[in-house]
Amino acid sequence: MSREWAGLLERIEECMWRIPQSYKPGMLVDAVVITDEEGLASACEGEALEQLANSAFLPGICSPAMAMPDIHSGYGFPIGGVGATDLESGVITPGGIGFDINCGVRLVRTDLEKEDIAPKLKAIVDRLYRDVPSGLGTSGKIRLSADEVRTVLEEGAEWAVKAGYGFEADLEHTEEGGRMDGADASAVSRKAVERGMPQLGTMGSGNHFLELQVVDYIADPEVAECFGLFEGQVVMMIHSGSRGLGHQVCTDYISTMMSALKKHDIVVPDRQLACAPLNSEEGKRYFAAMAAAANFAWANRQCIMHWAREAVAAELGSTPSRLGMTLVYDVCHNIAKIEDHIVGGEKSRVCVHRKGATRAFPPGHSDIPKAYTKVGQPVIVPGDMGRNSWVLVGTEQAMEKSFGSTCHGAGRVMSRKAAIRARKPHEVRDDLAERGIYARSASRSALAEEAPEAYKNVNDIVDICHRAGISSKVARLKPLGVVKG
């Protein structure tokens, strides 16, 4: 642990550490990071803990400001940051949500086992690479007019299903039903709409991916059965977001929020936390635009899933229905939601910012699919492409400790530039092949940028969340074939 933080951080549970409100004049609440000693040492090396402490300055923030164990430096909030703000006195900040609004993950189950696809694995991955557009600035198969984009912004995944890209049952297993209330296309700029026109149904670049995986370990048989998962089963994971449209929405409203700071007499220690009161005109319009971008992301993942299911089925001479290719769940990472939580011993309506964090609601919660009411919400946690991903389930402790939130992935430990310097793309591809993983990428640098060693070990992150009680292990997944953006 760095000298700066040594003696300051207070251990409050086995996997919970507090930065006291007294750390910086102006902090309105304590800040808490959920991690172990090794993870804390890693967080201390960069700006992540300082960013977490800065988030505790936001007007109306509820105690405490939080970070998940995959914490690392971001824009405004650290990635892994969670902050709940009061609806009356609180603010909303794009820096607490991120540029890729509703970047998220969905998991598709199948009736296939590993042996069923082993002879055709490379052919299936090659077809997925051909049939699902990926890469930086990619144009997709769907060309929309500006008015059609605006319809997607308000209808979300419902638009995709009505257009023939999937089934009604998919919506039942998508967070918010794939359509967030409060979305208003008129709050989204023309430039953002134009960036979205060619990109619906595209995976993008960076850490976005499509993976074929095998369930190699069941931690909770009862919950796994409820989710339709079994050992040896082939599943498919999709990670993508709102593409250029969401990025532009964030860019547009950061400028708006900079002006709002002065107008509303708000002082924050970092301009990346520029914000506006939730009940102000600026706050309302940003929320409406953010919700619209979130709807675009759900429609995007819905289209990707449709083409991916079709590609796998076609390569196997079957259909998605005959192969049992159904959606387990879709969760989002970068978003703000209006939710009910216990704050100061009382039930309160708050705006929960999740920046690189996943909702983890418990059994019986009204906002999870009826099929999962008895066990809790599925939590999909992608890892790096060489090790594992996980399915977890939400818990009551998450509601008590972390505003119903848990980790969203492994968390980077190496910048993309550093990763490219460390290894050549062909070396990463060869290493993956030795592990039995076949990889395709849209760019030469993608495999090096996303090399397994560029990330924390997701098994360690998940273990911390499990021990802290904010989500519980259900099933471990191992990569078989990877398509990177």
Which residues carry out catalysis? 408
> Can you read off the two tokens belonging to residue 284?
């309302």
Residue 66 · residue 281 · CB < 8 Å:
no
Residue 69 · residue 407 · CB < 8 Å:
yes
> Can you read off the two tokens belonging to residue 180?
């967030």
Q: Which residues of 370-402 are buried (b: 16+ CB within 10 A; e: fewer)?
A: ebbeebbbbbbbbbbbbbbbbbbbbbebbbebb
The whole-angstrom separation of Cα 86 and Cα 59 is 9
The whole-angstrom separation of Cα 368 and Cα 285 is 27
Residue 33 · residue 49 · CB < 8 Å:
yes
> Can you read off the two tokens belonging to residue 324?
């049992």
364 contacts: CB under 8 Å, gap ≥ 6:
373, 374
Please give the single-letter amino acid code of residue 253.
Answer: Y
DSSP string, 223-284: HHHHHT--TTEEEEEEEE--HHHHHHHHHHHHHHHHHHHHHTT---SSGGG--EETTSHHHH
> Can you read off the two tokens belonging to residue 399?
């509601």
- Kindly provide the residue ranges of all beta strands, DSSP E only, lying in 62-161, ordered along the sequence: 65-72, 79-86, 91-92, 104-113
Residue among 449, 405, 451 at smallest CA distance from 80: 405
Q: Helices 37-44 and 48-55: crossing angle, nearest 10°?
A: 90
Residue 408 · residue 80 · CB < 8 Å:
yes
> Can you read off the two tokens belonging to residue 216?
């190699």
